[in-house]
Amino acid sequence: MTDKTRAVVGTERRRSTTLKFELLDKIESLSDSRIVALKQVSLAEEYLADHFPTFPVLPGVMMLEALTQAAAWLLHCRSGFASSMAVLKEARNVKYGRFVAPGSALRVDVELSKATDAGAVFKAAGTVDGQPAVSARLELSYFRLGQKDAALASLDERLIAHARQRWAVLNARSDVTLNP
């Protein structure tokens, strides 16, 4: 392997590890304890080519990720973007109902069950045309990187600024107002 090839492979590896799916397309409603959002499923989404090629549907893990992203936005909005990281700590009682095919909209409804010192617990559900597609009890951790490692503290403000920018884009597609 040449040095040039190594550089290209190294760049590709870095790119592939930064892949992140922004799954929510619209916020329908937001309160201090609840968020309702939509995920439009399009045949153009790259992961549908492999899951399943002759019967494309939104993978269950992506449905769970949509619930988690909505819960994370609720944490950010409740706290005024006080922390940089909102990560899934635990998913319990995950149940899948119906398939979510391209052309469908997954309606995500996440309600705060209990705030904790380190995050919160949520009751979450996703429906398609009023029919259950996924439900779960989620626990998210909410923290600043600087709390875990002082050397990472400088990233917190950049990550929070980035989250605010992402929220502005997502919120611009919605009729929901927010005072972060």
Residue 157: domain span: 21-168
Examine the residue annotation and report whether 76 is marked as an active-site residue of this protein.
Answer: no
Mention every residue, 6+ apart, whose C-beta is less than 8 A from residue 55. none
Residue 12 lies in a domain: no
Provide the strand spans (E) within the chain: 26-30, 34-40, 85-96, 105-116, 119-128, 131-143
**% of the chain at pLDDT higher than 70:** 86
Give, for 145, the enclosing helix (H) or strand (E).
helix 145-148
Kindly state whether residue 141 falls inside one of the protein's structural domains: yes
**Candidate list 25, 40, 45, 51, residue with the active-site label:** 51
* 147: CATH: 3.10.129.10
Average pLDDT of the residues in 67-79: 98
Please check whether residue 79 lies inside any domain of the structure. Answer: yes
pLDDT tens digits for range 114-145: 999 999 999 999 999 999 999 999 999 999 99
Does 174 fall in a domain?
no
| Adjacency order of strands within the sheet including 119-128 | 26-30, 34-40, 105-116, 119-128, 131-143, 85-96
Pair 173, 39: CB distance under 8 Å: no
The total number of structural domains that make up the chain: 1
Residue whose entry in the numeric block shows the structure tokens 């309606």? 107
Residue 10 in any domain: the answer is no
Convert the pLDDT of each residue in 21-66 to its tens digit: 899 999 999 999 999 999 999 998 888 888 888 899 999 999 999 9
Nearest to 120, CA basis, from 95, 139, 144: 139
